[in-house]
């Protein structure tokens, strides 16, 4: 993982020796006849802290982003012109959806769409290969409205459809970067591989009583840990995402 290192804690124990030197001499005068005063009690010292150091060895250290880490989609291929074949334009759309969910560009990603007959096809599945995994982009309720203009083989018109991903890529680097920004901490670790393919299935839920627009996705079995720089303790939060892939700050979700 580029730019991320594991952080460890090393306690260094130092010691100092204080030498007490007593000077002895023969008294030149008789001892005092008055009764010596009672020695005062030893000066009390403040108790030293016994709090154990925070073990950061299981966390990854990284730079705290100054702003929310937005996806940089500059590495995507150019969007096809309207004159390009429909399957090519829909394929680019599928690639853009997968890339936005991952919040990362994969230079080797490739979309693939079957041939589409706008007058007959009602459902279509495109596939995007991204970071070595395959993601389906499903088009439903495809409807074609011709405008009466034809070249003898193809008719011009407009097409409408409903489309959505059935799974999405979750990239650990991005999730951890967001947590660093949101919690102002360098030390974070999410218990997951560098990236994984996550099936949405029935995990989308709308939080009851939440002010968050849309839905959020709970990713079961994965949690993230981070160092709270103020409390100096390690906190654990579940991995939850907005439906478009951005991690949710734990304190911004209400109810659920």
Gap between the Cα atoms of 232 and 183, Å rounded: 12
Q: What is the 3-state secondary structure (H, E, C) of the chain?
A: CCCCEECCCCCCCCCCCCCCCCCCCCCCCCCCCCCCCCCCCCCCCCCCCCCCCCCCCCCEECCCCCCCCCCCCCCCCCCCCCCCCHHHHHHHHHHHHHHHHHCCCCCCCEEECCCCCCCCCCCEEEEEEECCEEEEEEEEEEEEEEEEEECCCCEEEEEEEEEEECEEEEEHHHHHHHHHHHHCCCEEEECCCCEEEEECCCCEECCCCCCCCCCEEEEEEEEEEEEECCCCEEEEEEEEEECCCCECCHHHCCCC
The reported pTM is 0.71
How far is residue 215 from each of residues 69, 81, 161, measured CA to CA in Å? 21, 32, 21
Gap between the Cα atoms of 202 and 220, Å rounded: 12
Token pair for 40: 């005062």
Tens-of-pLDDT digits for all 256 residues of the chain?
334 433 333 333 333 332 223 333 334 444 444 454 555 544 545 445 455 688 899 999 999 999 989 888 889 999 999 889 889 999 999 999 999 999 999 999 999 999 888 778 899 999 999 999 999 999 999 998 777 666 656 666 788 999 999 999 999 999 999 999 999 999 999 999 999 999 987 565 555 444 445 577 888 889 999 999 999 999 999 998 888 888 886 544 433 3
Sign (positive or negative) of CA dihedral 215, 219, 220, 225: negative
CA-based R_g, the chain, Å: 33
């Amino acid at each position: 993982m580029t730019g991320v290192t594991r952080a460890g804690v090393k306690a260094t124990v130092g010691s100092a020796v204080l030498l007490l030197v007593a000077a002895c001499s023969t008294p030149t005068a008789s001892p005092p006849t008055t009764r010596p005063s009672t020695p005062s009690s030893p000066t009390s010292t403040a108790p030293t802290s016994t709090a154990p150091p925070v073990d950061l060895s299981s966390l990854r250290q990284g730079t705290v982003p100054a702003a929310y880490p937005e996806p940089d989609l500059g590495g995507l291929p150019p969007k096809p012109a309207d004159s390009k074949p429909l399957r090519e334009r829909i394929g680019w759309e599928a690639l853009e959806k997968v890339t936005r969910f991952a919040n990362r560009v994969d230079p080797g990603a490739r979309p693939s769409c079957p041939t589409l007959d706008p007058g007959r096809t009602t459902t279509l599945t495109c596939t995007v290969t991204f970071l070595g995994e395959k993601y389906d982009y499903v088009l439903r309720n495809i409807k074609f409205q011709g405008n009466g203009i034809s070249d003898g083989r193809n008719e011009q018109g407009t097409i409408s459809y409903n489309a959505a991903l059935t799974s999405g890529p979750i990239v650990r680097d991005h999730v951890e970067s967001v947590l660093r920004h949101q919690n102002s901490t360098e030390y974070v670790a999410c218990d997951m591989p560098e990236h994984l393919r996550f099936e949405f299935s029935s995990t989308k839920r709308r939080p009851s009583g939440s002010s968050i627009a849309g839905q959020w996705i709970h990713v079961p079995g994965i949690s993230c840990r981070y160092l709270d720089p103020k409390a100096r303790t390690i906190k654990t939060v579940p991995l939850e995402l907005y439906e478009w892939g951005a991690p949710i700050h734990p304190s911004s979700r209400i109810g659920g």
